[in-house]
Amino acid sequence: MGKIAGEVHLEIEGAVTQRSVLDALESRYPMLRGTIRDHVTLQRRPFVRFFACMEDLSHEPLDALLPEAVASGTEPYLVVGAVAGG
């Protein structure tokens, strides 16, 4: 399997939501299944954060529409692994 480096561009059919973006991402890169969302519940993992247009969307509903700038491709949807430690 290839590495994923840099930005990933996805084509989304229908409404552009966090769920539709994550579905498309996991479909295109199956090796990510279970890393961003739980395999069974499909809930976002607690130490993964989601951002768009300088807003933290980590606690927003998965089916809420993403900002138009993300849907049009002018702004990125960011999936960021949180760093914890002491």
Kindly report the pTM of this predicted structure: 0.87
Q: Which residues, in sequence order, are bridge partners of residue 25?
A: none
Type of residue at 25:
L
Tens digits of residue pLDDT in 9-42: 999 999 999 999 999 999 999 999 999 999 999 9
Rounded distance between C-alpha atoms, residue 79 and residue 68, angstroms: 18
- Residue whose entry in the numeric block shows the structure tokens 């900002």: 67
Tens digits of residue pLDDT in 46-57: 899 999 999 999
**Diameter over CA atoms, the chain:** 43
Rounded distance between C-alpha atoms, residue 60 and residue 17, angstroms: 10
